[in-house]
Structure 1
Amino acid sequence: MEWNTLLSAQRMRGGKSKKNFKSTDLRSEFEKDYHRIIGSASFRRLQDKTQVFPLDKSDFIRTRLTHSLEVASLGKSLGQNIGENILNYRKDSGFTIQMKEDICHILECAGLIHDIGNPPFGHFGETAIREWFERNLPQLVFKGRRVEDILTPQMKGDFYHFEGNAQALRLVTKLHYLVDEYGMNLTYALLNTIVKYPVPSDKINRKSGNIKDKKMGYYDADREVFEEISGATGAGNCRHPLTYILEAADDLAYKTADIEDAFVKGFVSYYTLERELSALMEKRPDAPFDALGKLKELYERGAKKQPQNPESYAVKNWIVRVQGFLISCATYGFTSHYDEIMAGTFCHDLFYGTYGEELMELLGDIAFRYVFSSKTIYKMEVSEAVILDFLMDRLVHAVLYYDTEEKLNSIDSRVISFISDNYKNAYKLQAEGKTEEEKLYLRLLLVTDYVCGMTDSYAKRLYQEMNGII
């Protein structure tokens, strides 16, 4: 792979040149992407989508919006570090200062939209939708035939392996239907960067040992879009190099933020964190970053500066120190595996083989044991499942015969009216010239498109209104 093609500024809808016209817009194409994203309704809706704690009343706890801003910031920082390293150590003779700047802008934009396709209620929302299809798709019947028998293996796999990652690509390329069918019409370099898993649902292989095969990255309905983008950048079926950096920024952001949010919510105490780090340091006394020692040092400093709450001072400042160390680890991970990444053969994340890998694993494990496995979160998730199951039941029943010669009953026609015209217009455009089987598949996608576009509050409110709960 070569940077001059990887950083493709091409868009699906190219600009129209005007003779004798000199533009006063001095932004690069990737800077223009940033403004398209910031001004979009889809991005604004992230402010009311769960990161960990749904519908939380605290103004401190992170939402998908604040998480995405943090990922954008960390991604840009990593881009600066890595770009400077490539230049200073002359790892690539074709790499320029302008390319370094472009990388930073692309990663900043990718951070903003990497979660833009996620449904309400965080990652559990994805699980609830997948499980709904596992239970119900085998039971669905369309014109006397089982829907499972009508759909192709990849079409079925798209629902059984439903992913917010694939939905993000679909949203920004097809569903942001304001001007035309090209969505936000973002650059190909940016679009390729957000495809974490460049495989379709029927090619998932969790045993391959390659991180890119773990999940699906695009729907059957969006295969041509993916092929056009990855063909233009030259990445093909490999991960785009910037995807590794985006993933590292995402992992770094949420694993450190989850600890901070868990501390603020009372799930994890200072002493719990101290105890967990003690176990890690016993295993790795030679570690280049003394995580436990730094936490204790900050506690002592906090006892002098904020004697009423040294624990809070210590934990929050410790998170900042940890992020700085992990940025260094990810930078090393990319630069030390540069040739493999550029050849498309690197199979791991950027923390692989570094001390940061063990620290990241510990942070994730702490969050899982003390937060995600708690009764408080389980109760929230049970409520969320009830909401999503109800909405999926009603919406799928309504769309089965939508846009066919069959007349909808009064309830189904009303349910269809709830779906945004934006999504219905996108469906009709994509359904033109398609077979009856393909249209059925697109109608099921219409449901996931609509549900994924919901905020937490809207999903809860729609559920209550449809059930007559005032």
Structure 2
Amino acid sequence: MNWLQLLSHKRPGETDLVKHDQTRSRFEQDFDRIIFSHPFRKLQDKTQVFPLPEDDFVHTRLTHSLEVSVVGRSLAKNAGNHLLEKYPEIKNEGYTTHDFGGIVGAACLAHDLGNPPFGHSGEDSISSFFLTNEAGLFFKDKVSESEWEDLITFEGNAQGLRILNGKGNGGLKLTFATLGAFTKYPLSSSSEKDKSRKSQNKFGYYQCNAALFSEMANEMGLISLGKNKWCRHPLAFLVEAADDICYHIIDLEDGCRLGLVPFETVKELLAEIIGDSYSEEKVQKIPSQHERLGTLRAMAIGQLIKECSEAFINHEEAMLDGSFDDDLTSLIPSAPAMKKIIDLSIEKIYRSKLVLEKEAGGYEVIDNLIESFATAVYTKNFDQPLPKHKSILRLLPEEYEVQLKFVSSVYDALQIVIDFISGLTDSHAVRLYKTIKGYRLPV
């Protein structure tokens, strides 16, 4: 792979190459398009770790995505400085560190767009509907084998790519470089996976986006690893690192603010990352625990950005030839401290009663919603709808009704239902569930 191809600012479907504009690059346009998009705005009411948080300090998907974008931009600018010196042809084509920051910043901003309500329990619930619910299993012989793989393994990354390239959402049409950096798992759900490669632990696109992804891969010269799978775009490693840094450190911070983890424990863990720059005397001078926590978090993230930037530079050539496929945060000096944070977070935060109770409720809400709408859509388009199904269909927003008029397969219809359900905010999903169940009737 080579950087000039990897930095492609073409958009899907374009044939003519538009000249790179340094004043407002197409990568900056990508960032702006995401910020103003409807799916991005809805992240303000989607669970990060703590569903329906009441504490002002606890993060939602929106605040998490903004923070990941800031960290990703810093990582990419550090990497860009090195790459511009190493490969003069990049600079000669007019690219700057801001372009690297723009690509990774935009990809980070979009990295959670495909996540459904209630976090990972929402993902599991959509998959479980088709795997275990009788109403979901009904569809198995009505789709192809590869389409069924998409349905039984809902994947937020693949859903995100579908959102970014859908006909709705204002027609985002992001550049190939941004889409490449966004795609952590460049393979389909039915591809044979090599578990030794981190980029094949999950999948990154549905069958409906197979042609698009092939176009992306060819345009950027991604190395093919077999049928429907490629090596990662190197900048995807920075997007992954930014996400890892933020959710490990900030989930710990949120856990402390909610009283799940003692402040002294958090302080010790973050001090281990901060290293020689840590000063207990200076920490004690900070007046409130909230401020002390914020200062330690900022210093720890700063150190992790430095270490991950160096790891990227050290492995950049191996990324280009496809031999490197690991997460950067596992290779840095602070990896042992990060491992301690992960283990503590699993025990004290992700398995806390607060999280598990609301995840259980999320399962019930999503399972009922997808059963109601999938059944109603199927009977309308491919069978005879009952009055109940007609009533449920009236709850669909207009844009989904329009899309359903043009579907020709059960798979396409079900993907539109999944688009709707996964695009709901936590609060909207709960309200809709109560409406359908009759718990929330107008008076």
TM-score, structure 1 as length reference: 0.85
Offset at 1:361?
A: 2.0
> What is the identity, as a one-letter code, of the residue corresponding to 1:5?
Q
What SS class does the counterpart of residue 400 from structure 1 fall into?
helix
How many Å separate the matches in 2 of 1:101 and 1:82? 11
2:259 aligned with 1:256, yes or no?
no
Q: State the Cα distance separating 1:370 from its structure 2 match.
A: 0.5
Question: For 1:415-459, what per-residue CA distance to the aligned partner results, in whole angstroms no more than 9, with x for missing partners?
Answer: 122222323434555x3xx5xxxx111111122111111001100
Q: Give the CA deviation at 1:343.
A: 1.4
Deviation of 1:351 (Å): 2.1
Output the CA distance in 2 between the equivalents of 1:25 and 1:6.
17
Structure 1 residues 381-438: Cα deviation after superposition (integer angstroms, max 9, x where no partner): 111111111112211211223323x331111122122222323434555x3xx5xxxx
Per-residue CA distance 1:213-271 (angstroms, 9 max, x = gap): 10010001111111112221112511111111111111111111101111111111123
Say which of 148, 154, 159 aligns to 2:146: 154
Note closer, same or farther for the CA distance 1:421–1:14 as it changes in structure 2 (3 Å cut).
farther
Structure 1 residues 456 and 140 mapped into 2: Cα distance closer, same or farther (>3 Å)? same
CA contact (8 A) 2:267 2:296 kept: no
User: Where does 1:316-327 land on structure 2 (aligned, <5 Å)?
Assistant: 316-327=294-305
Q: Describe the shift of the 1:36–1:13 C-alpha distance in structure 2 as closer, same or farther (beyond 3 A).
A: farther
User: How far apart, in 2, do the equivalents of 1:244 and 1:262 lie?
Assistant: 27
**Equivalent of 1:203, from 167, 191, 196?**
191
1:411 aligns with 2:382: no
Equivalences for 1:306-455 in 2 at 5 Å? 306=287, 309=288, 311-404=289-382, 406-429=383-406, 431=407, 434=408, 439-455=409-425
Q: Deviations over 1:29-81 (max 9, x none)?
A: 11111221121111111111111111112221111111111011111100111
- Structure 1: how far apart are the matches of 2:232 and 2:53? 36
Specify whether residues 166 and 34 from structure 1 end up closer, same or farther in structure 2 by C-alpha distance, changes over 3 A only: same
Residue 223 of structure 1 corresponds to 210
Instruction: Structure 1 unaligned segments of length 5 or more: list them.
Output: 18-23, 142-146, 282-288
C-alpha distance in 2 between matches for 1:466 and 1:25: 51
Change (3 A) 1:290 1:420: closer
CA drift of 1:14 comes to: 4.0
Distance verdict in 2 for CA 1:331–1:62, change over 3 Å: same
1:95 aligned partner: 90
Q: SS in structure 2 opposite 1:329?
A: helix
* Aligned positions, number: 432
Q: Structure 1 residues 245, 336: CA separation in 2 closer, same or farther (over 3 Å shift)?
A: same
Match of 1:168 among 144, 160, 163: 160
Q: What amino acid is the match of 1:53? A: F
User: Helix, strand or coil for the counterpart of 2:49?
Assistant: coil
CA displacement at 1:26 relative to structure 2: 4.2
**Aligned 1:62-141 pairs, distance under 5 A:** 62-88=59-85, 90=86, 92-96=87-91, 98-136=95-133, 140-141=137-138
Q: 1:303 matched to which residue of 2?
A: 284
Q: Give the whole-Å Cα distance in 2 for the aligned partners of 1:339 and 1:221.
A: 33
Instruction: Please say if residues 161 and 216 of structure 1, whose CA atoms lie closer than 8 Å, have aligned partners that are also in contact.
Output: no
Q: Which amino acid aligns with 1:11?
A: R
Point out the more displaced range, 5-14 or 447-456: 5-14
Q: Which amino acid aligns with 1:417?
A: R
Question: Counterpart amino acid of 1:422?
Answer: E
The 1:58/1:220 distance shift into structure 2, 3 A limit, reads: same
2: distance between equivalents of 1:133 and 1:395? 13
Aligned-partner Cα distance in 2 for 1:81–1:122: 31
Which structure has the larger Rg over C-alpha atoms?
A: 1
Partner of 2:54: 57
The answer to whether the 8 Å contact 2:58/2:254 transfers is yes
Partner of 1:239: 232
Query: Given residue 5 of structure 2, which amino acid in structure 1 is its aligned partner?
Result: T
Q: Distance in 1 between matches of 2:38 and 2:285?
A: 46
How many Å separate the matches in 1 of 2:277 and 2:143?
56
For residue 457 of structure 1, the aligned residue among 411, 423, 427 is 427
Q: Secondary structure at the match of 2:54?
A: coil
In structure 2, runs of 5+ residues without a counterpart are: 225-229
Q: Are 2:129 and 2:136, in contact at CA under 8 Å, matched by a contact in 1? A: no
Look up the match of 1:192.
180
The residue type equivalent to 1:221 in the other structure is: C
Inter-partner Cα distance in structure 2 for 1:63 and 1:135: 30
**1:340 aligned partner, one-letter code:** A
CA contact (8 A) 2:244 2:329 kept: no
Q: TM-score, normalised by structure 2?
A: 0.90
- Across the aligned residues of Structure 1 and Structure 2, the Cα RMSD in angstroms comes to 2.6
Distance 2:16 2:268 in 1: 62
